[in-house]
Structure 1
C-alpha cells in the first residue's frame, strides 16, 4: 500500500493528567457511571494483571471496604478484575469510579498499564464527542407497527443461521451438522489492522507474521474484541462505531463469525440497539451486472418485508447491514480521497441517495459508508487482507483482524470433531508432534481439513499400513484419496474426474477465479451443478446465490492442490520447466502454494496413495521438478524470502538425496531480520540435517522463541558460529539450547545470546552444559537480566569451561560488588588462561 499507513496499535504521547481531568471533572456522576459501563469489558481485560494494585489504591482512599479489597486480591487474574469493576459499579455514588480512573493516571508509568493507557488515549482522541457516545440510548423500544415483522425477521434469521455444517470423510458419513452455539469456538480478534505489500502467497506471509502477533495477544499486550463488542462499545474512533471492517486470511472464520453475529442478534443476545439486521454476501452481489437499488437487493433476500420495508428503513440508526467477503466482489469500490481526512465527515456537496435509487452495487456500498444513503445506519464488511486497499479511503471507524484459534481452542475443536474422545485425542497428539500440521491449525479451515483427513486414517483398519501425513502435500493427498474412495460413484472414472476438476481449479488460480458456475463445469467436461458427482459434492461448497447457484472449493488450498495435481500429471515433460518458471516468477504470489504442492508431488511416498486412482507418476516430470528445485535453490542465495520458500519445497519433496545435494555443501545460512515461524524453524532443522558442519548460522532478530529451539536444537551442534541475539528465547529456550551444547560432537565455537530475555533461572543449566563442552570459545550474554545471584555460577562456569576465551556480560544489572568479583576472578585465572576476558 502506498501513500498511507493503516491504523496501528501505537501509543502516542498523551497528557494523562489532562485526560483524567476531563473524565473526573467534566462528567457528572451519572455520566461517569455510563462511561465506566461503556468501557467495562475492556477495563476488565486491561486490569487483569493490575487489579490488586488498583484495589489497594481504592482501599487506601476508603472508597471500598476491607472485605471488598480482600475479595479482589484473593481472586486470580480475570476474576480479580471482574470483581474490581463489579465492586466499583455497585456503589450508589461515583466516588469509587472517580478513584479508579484517578488511579489509572497515578499508575501511568507502570508498563503493566499499557492497555489502560490505550483506553485513555482513545478518550483523548474522542474529546467532547464522548458525551454523545455515552448518552446514546441503545435500547429504544421498537415501534408497535413493526413488532410483528421484527419478530418474523428474527425467527427467519435464527433458522438460517442455527446450524453449522461440516463434512466428514469417514465411512459414508457425508455431513455433520452442529448447533452453532455448541460448536462455535470464540476467535482471537484484535482491534487493529496490519498491512504490508506481499510478494509471496497471502497465507504464507500472514502465517509467519501471525505467530508473533498471536503471542502478543496472549501475553495481554494487545486487546481482544469479542463478536458482541464491534458496535455500541468503546472500540472505534468516533462517537459511536458505525462502519467496521473485519479482516482475515482465507478460512480464518470470517463467514462463521458473521453467522454467529446474525444468530445471536436473532435470538436477542446482542445488539439490541438494532431493530433490523440485513446480511449479504459479496459473491452473490456479483450477479447484479446492471444498476439496482438497496431496496431491491434487500427484497431479493427478504421478500416477506415488501409491505413494511419503507417503515423499517425510516429509522436508520436502528439498522445494521453486513456485507461478507469483499475480496470476492468483482468490481472496485473507489472512495474519494477527501474521506481519508476525517472519519466522521461526509462528502460535501454529494447528492443524497435513497434506498429506491437505482445505481451500481459499488455506488450503494460507497453511499452507505459516506452517509449519503441511510445516514446513521451501521455497516460491517468482512474481507481478506488482499482486498483492503479498496477501503483505504473509506471513513471506517473500526478495523479489526481475526487471528484464528489459540492452543486451547485448537484442542477444543479436535474434541468436538469426533464423538470418540480417544480418537480425538490420538489425532490431536499426532498433530501436536508435527510442527507443520499443528501450526496450520490456528486457521479453522485448515483445522477442519486436518481433522477430516486424520479421522479416516485413525479410525480405519488400514492405519497400520498407512502412515499419517507429515507434509502439507501428504495431508491433501490423503484428504482427496479419502473423498474419492468413499464418495465417488461406480460410474465415475476417478482419473478423468480428478484431472478435469484440477484443470478447472488451475484456471481459477491463474485467473483469480474462486466462484464457479455451470459454464465453468461445461468448459472442462464436468457435470453441471444439478448433477454434481459425489466427489465434487464433497470438495465444493454450494452458494445459493440470489439469482443463481454457484460453487467454490471448500478452501483455496484445496483448489491449489487439485490444480497442482492436474498440472503435474498432465503437463508434457518438455513444457513443465516453462510452467514452473512462469509461475515462480509471478510477482503477486498467487502460485506460491501451488508450487509447494508441485514440489511435494515429486515425492513417491506422497503420490503412492493416489496411484490406484490416478495411475503411475510421470517419472520425467518428477525429474523436472527436482531439477527446478535445485535451480531455485541456487538462484535464491542472498534472497531470504525466496530461500525460505525453497527450503519449504525441499521439505515437501521429502527427497533425502536432493537435500544432501543442495544443502550438503552449504557453509552459511543467514535469515537475520526475517520473521521465522515454528514451521520455518522445523523445516530449517530438517534440511540442515545432512550438513556435517555449518560455519555460520545467523538467526539474528528472527522472532524466534522457545518453540523455535525445540526444532533447532537438533542441528545447532553442527554450527561453528551461532547468532541468536534479539530473539525472545527466554530461560526455557536456552535450556533447550543446552541440549546441543552437551553433545559430544558439538562444534560450536561462537555463541551470541545478547538481548534474548535471559534471567538467573537459566544460569545453572548453561553452566552445567558448558562444563563438559570443549568447543566453545566466545559466549556473548550481554543485555540480559542476570543479577548478583548468578555471579558464583558464572565464576564456576568460566573455571570449568577450559576452552572459553571471552564471556561478555555487559549491560546486565550486576551491582558494583558483583562486577568487581567477576573482574578479580578474571585477573586470577589470566595467569593460567592467557587471553581470557570477562566483560562486565
Structure 2
C-alpha cells in the first residue's frame, strides 16, 4: 500500500524555493498563492505545485503576461495553453498569440477531452490503443504524446511492452473532461448530454429542454455529482462552473464555444448553488458547492465566514446551509487541532448542523445535537474516528436518532486509528440493529474506549436487553451509565 500524504505549508514553500534559483521569482509566486487561499490549499498536492510553478513561471518571466490566476479553473486553463504553445517553436509560419489555438490544436484537445470524459465516468485512468482510436485519436501521430501533449498525456510500455496511455495527473483528466462536456453543451450535442444526465431526482428521463440554459446545465451536473457517493466527479463539476465565466472562456478561445453568461445568468447559477438540496448525501459532498462558488468568483460567502470566525458573538449570527459548508471547509483546512466542536453553539438550521459534521476531524471532543445519523453521513463520523492520526477522544450525542443503516458507525470503534475514549448518547434512539452493532463492537474490545453513557436513551427491540446484559456483566470493563440525568 502506498500512502501519499502531500505537502505541509512549510514544504509547499520549500518546493518553490528549490524549484527557482531566482529568489524574487519564488517569493512572488509564494506571495500570490497566499493571497489566493484556495490555490495555496491545493498546493498540498505535489503535482499541483508543479502545475502552478509551470504557469506562474511562464507568466512572470515572459512578455505574455496578464492577471495571475486566482481560481483552480483559471490555473488549469493557463496550464493547457502553456503546454500547447510549447510546440509552436517547431512550427514555421505566422506567429500567433499565446492564447490563440490552431484548429489542429482544438481538434486534438477535444478528442483528448472526449477520452478524458468517457473514461472519467468509468473511473479509468489508464487507456489503450483501442480507447484512443474510439475517440478518433491516431496513435501513430507524434502529437498524441508529444508537442501539444508533452506534459498532458503520457505513453509508456508496461507488461508485454503493450503501450499504455494516461494523463499526467487525474486532475488534468478531470479538467479536459470538463472542457469537452462544456463544448458539448455549447454545441448542443444532446446525445452526449442526455447520456450523462440520465434522470432527474424524481427518476424522470432528462430531455434537451431540461438542459437548454446554462443554469440548468450546471445544476444538473451538480445533481449528478451529488448522486455519486465517493465524490469522483466533484473536481469535474468544479471545473464546469469555472468554465462558465467570461474570463476563462476568453482564455480558451474557440475551444469551448459561445454561451450566454450575463451577470443575470451567473446570479441564477449562484442562487441554484446556494439552494442545492443535498439532504441524504454525505455532508462532505456539500463542501464542493462552496468550491464551485469560488470558481465562479463569488466570494461573499467566503468573506462572511471570515467575519464570522473573527466575531466575538458567534451565536448571534444566523448561518445558512452554504455558510455551514464554507465553515466546515475552513475548519478542515486549519492545521490547528481544537478542543471542542459543539453543534449547539451554532445558530443554524437542522440541515446546516448536518453540513458542519465534516469539521469534527479537527477536534478532540465533539458534541452532536439534534441530528440524524444514517448511511449518508456516517462517512463524516467515520473519518473523525479513523483518520491518521485521529484526534477525537470524546464523542457526545444528544437528541440524536440513529437510523437502521447507521450501524457502520460502531464498526469503526475497533479501527487501528481510533482513539475514542468516551462515547455518550443522551436522549437518543438506537434501533435493534444499532444495539446489535454496538454490542458486537464492544465485544471486540476496542482498545481505547473507557466509558459508554446511554442516558435517557430509547433502545429498540431485543437488542436492548442483550446490550445491557453485557454491559452489566463482570466481563465488561467499561464504565457504564444509563440512568436518566437528574
TM-score by length of 2: 0.51
Query: How do residues 328-347 of structure 1 correspond to structure 2 at under 5 angstroms?
Result: none
Maintained 8 Å contact 1:504/1:520: yes
Q: Secondary structure of the equivalent of 1:550?
A: strand
Q: Secondary structure of the equivalent of 2:69?
A: coil
Match of 2:258 among 612, 617, 622: 617
**Residue 271 (structure 2) aligns with:** 630
Maintained 8 Å contact 1:474/1:600: yes
Superposition deviation, residue 510 in structure 1:
0.3
Q: Secondary structure of the equivalent of 1:567?
A: helix
In 1, distance between residues paired with 2:268 and 2:326? 30
Structure 1 residue 599 corresponds to structure 2 residue 241? yes
Match of 1:505 among 108, 112, 116: 116
Superposition deviation, residue 625 in structure 1:
7.9
Match of 2:170 among 537, 556, 560: 556
In 1, distance between residues paired with 2:39 and 2:266? 24
Deviations 1:253-281 (A, max 9, x none): xxxxxxxxxxxxxxxxxxxxxxxxxxxxx
In structure 1, list runs of 5 or more residues that go unmatched.
Answer: 1-244, 249-402, 661-665, 682-693, 706-840
**Residue 522 (structure 1) aligns with:** 133
Larger-gyration structure (1/2): 1
RMSD of equivalent CA atoms: 3.7
Match of 2:291 among 645, 648, 652: 648
**Residue 397 (structure 1) aligns with:** none
In 2, distance between residues paired with 1:603 and 1:659? 19
Query: How do residues 108-119 of structure 1 correspond to structure 2 at under 5 angstroms?
Result: none
In 1, distance between residues paired with 2:182 and 2:261? 10
Superposition deviation, residue 429 in structure 1:
1.9
Superposition deviation, residue 526 in structure 1:
1.7
**Residue 428 (structure 1) aligns with:** 30
Superposition deviation, residue 614 in structure 1:
2.1
Q: Secondary structure of the equivalent of 1:542?
A: strand
In 1, distance between residues paired with 2:38 and 2:85? 26
Match of 1:669 among 299, 312, 320: 320
Maintained 8 Å contact 2:290/2:325: no
Deviations 1:199-239 (A, max 9, x none): xxxxxxxxxxxxxxxxxxxxxxxxxxxxxxxxxxxxxxxxx
Q: Secondary structure of the equivalent of 1:668?
A: coil
In 2, distance between residues paired with 1:585 and 1:447? 31
In 2, distance between residues paired with 1:529 and 1:538? 18
Maintained 8 Å contact 1:676/1:703: no
Given the superposition, is the C-alpha separation of residues 247 and 648 from structure 1 closer, same or farther in structure 2, using an over 3 Å criterion? same
Maintained 8 Å contact 1:584/1:595: no
In 1, distance between residues paired with 2:226 and 2:269? 10
In 1, distance between residues paired with 2:128 and 2:83? 22
**Residue 247 (structure 1) aligns with:** 3
Q: Secondary structure of the equivalent of 2:320?
A: strand
In 2, distance between residues paired with 1:530 and 1:494? 13
Structure 1 residue 535 corresponds to structure 2 residue 135? no
Given the superposition, is the C-alpha separation of residues 556 and 624 from structure 1 closer, same or farther in structure 2, using an over 3 Å criterion? farther
Deviations 1:13-69 (A, max 9, x none): xxxxxxxxxxxxxxxxxxxxxxxxxxxxxxxxxxxxxxxxxxxxxxxxxxxxxxxxx
Superposition deviation, residue 578 in structure 1:
5.1
In 1, distance between residues paired with 2:81 and 2:263? 20
In 1, distance between residues paired with 2:299 and 2:11? 36
In 2, distance between residues paired with 1:426 and 1:672? 31
Deviations 1:608-635 (A, max 9, x none): 2112x52643227998887565334323
In 1, distance between residues paired with 2:121 and 2:258? 24
Superposition deviation, residue 453 in structure 1:
1.3
In 2, distance between residues paired with 1:487 and 1:435? 32
Superposition deviation, residue 422 in structure 1:
2.2
Maintained 8 Å contact 1:404/1:442: yes
Given the superposition, is the C-alpha separation of residues 492 and 568 from structure 1 closer, same or farther in structure 2, using an over 3 Å criterion? closer
**Residue 181 (structure 2) aligns with:** 567
Given the superposition, is the C-alpha separation of residues 679 and 418 from structure 1 closer, same or farther in structure 2, using an over 3 Å criterion? farther
Query: How do residues 431-830 of structure 1 correspond to structure 2 at under 5 angstroms?
Result: 431-463=33-65, 466-487=66-87, 493-528=104-139, 531-533=142-144, 534-546=147-159, 547-571=161-185, 572=188, 574=209, 575=211, 576=217, 581-611=223-253, 614=255, 616-619=257-260, 627=268, 630-636=271-277, 640-655=283-298, 667-669=318-320, 671=324, 675-677=328-330
